[in-house]
């Protein structure tokens, strides 16, 4: 964002903010940094952010502050729609951990993990806070946050309405909208609550192999189908041989 836009939105440089894809209502949390641009209506996103939100350049997005300070989580439960039983569990967990470590996630978020050149899509099913011993369901977290926000909003609107009625006369239209806000008749989206993946966070991965008429409709990959490792190893060996002054190729175990 431009420095003027950061100041106008009252963001702090290096602060985590929420990016929302207005077309598909996807949400991610990223760090805000100033750019050389002077525009107040546009932001510059990295290719990684465009990939996470699945948007293209020029698509509308909304930048907003986080609803609350992200709390650290001790465990995260991820679900993959495709069959991952053929992969080495330790290697898969390591790849997931290295790409999600120190990031911010929210419940039901879809995260894309690159694993040996493939893009595996995981959904965040459950989160365990560091101070909790049991899992909290999605509805409880959303409801609690929503209730707190509604209570604060009701008290603010009530105070403002009371003070305004003492000083000036409020017309019927303003009173009508204020009553809608107090009664909660206006439909408002529940705030997205982000949580922080820390170094000690544990990862639990599950998958469900969808089947239709006895055959799986998910695309299955095998490790041997990936290829490319032989050429990579040979190129590394050749570079080491040249640097060590040895023959271009080596035979035997090393």
What pLDDT score was predicted for residue 139?
Answer: 37
What pLDDT score was predicted for residue 18?
Answer: 94
Decide: 97 and 89 in contact? Cβ < 8 Å: no
- Longest Cα pair distance anywhere in the chain, in angstroms? 93
Decide: 61 and 21 in contact? Cβ < 8 Å: yes
Q: In whole angstroms, give the CA distance from residue 207 to residue 120.
A: 11
Decide: 42 and 8 in contact? Cβ < 8 Å: no
Q: Which positions of the chain have pLDDT values less than 70? A: 132-189, 208-232, 246-254
- DSSP lists the bridge partners of residue 112 as 121
What pLDDT score was predicted for residue 244?
Answer: 78
Q: What would the CATH number be for the domain defined by 3-65? A: 2.40.40.20
Q: In whole angstroms, give the CA distance from residue 40 to residue 106.
A: 28
Structure tokens that stand for 148 in this block: 């707190």
What pLDDT score was predicted for residue 208?
Answer: 53
What DSSP element (H or E) covers 93? Answer: helix 89-100
Distant-in-sequence, close-in-space partners of 246: CB < 8 Å, separation ≥ 6: 240
Which regions of the chain does DSSP assign to beta strands (E)?
A: 16-21, 26-31, 61-65, 71-80, 104-105, 110-115, 118-129, 195-207, 211-212, 215-216
What pLDDT score was predicted for residue 78?
Answer: 92
What pLDDT score was predicted for residue 198?
Answer: 93
What pLDDT score was predicted for residue 164?
Answer: 45
What pLDDT score was predicted for residue 151?
Answer: 32
Q: In whole angstroms, give the CA distance from residue 83 to residue 210.
A: 8
What pLDDT score was predicted for residue 229?
Answer: 58
What pLDDT score was predicted for residue 159?
Answer: 44
Q: In whole angstroms, give the CA distance from residue 112 to residue 199.
A: 19
What pLDDT score was predicted for residue 223?
Answer: 37
Which regions of 118-194 does DSSP assign to beta strands (E)?
A: 118-129
Q: In whole angstroms, give the CA distance from residue 254 to residue 244.
A: 15
Q: What would the CATH number be for the domain defined by 71-132+192-207? A: 3.10.330.10
Domain residue ranges of the chain, discontinuous segments joined by +:
3-65, 71-132+192-207
């Amino acid at each position: 964002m431009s420095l003027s836009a950061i100041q106008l939105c009252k963001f702090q440089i290096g602060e985590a903010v929420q990016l929302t894809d207005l077309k598909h209502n996807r949400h991610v949390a990223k760090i805000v940094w100033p750019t050389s641009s002077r525009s107040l209506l546009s932001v510059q996103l990295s290719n990684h952010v465009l990939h996470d939100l699945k948007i293209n350049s020029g698509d509308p997005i909304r930048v907003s502050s986080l609803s609350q300070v992200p709390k650290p989580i001790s465990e995260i439960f991820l679900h993959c729609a495709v069959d991952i039983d053929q992969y080495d569990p330790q290697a898969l967990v390591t790849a997931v951990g290295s790409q999600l470590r120190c990031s911010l996630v929210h419940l039901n978020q879809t995260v894309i993990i690159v694993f040996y050149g493939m893009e595996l899509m995981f959904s965040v099913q459950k989160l365990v806070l560091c101070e909790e011993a049991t899992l909290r369901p999605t509805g409880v977290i959303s409801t609690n946050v929503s209730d707190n926000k509604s209570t604060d909003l009701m008290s603010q609107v009530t105070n403002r309405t009371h003070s305004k009625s003492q000083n000036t006369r409020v017309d019927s239209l303003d009173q009508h909208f204020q009553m809608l806000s107090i009664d909660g008749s206006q439909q408002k989206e529940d705030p997205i609550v982000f949580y922080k993946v820390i170094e000690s966070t544990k990862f639990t991965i599950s998958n469900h192999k969808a089947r239709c008429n006895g055959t799986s409709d998910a695309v299955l990959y095998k490790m041997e189908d990936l290829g490319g490792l032989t050429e990579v190893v040979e190129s590394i060996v050749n570079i080491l041989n040249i640097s060590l002054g040895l023959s271009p190729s080596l035979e035997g175990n090393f």
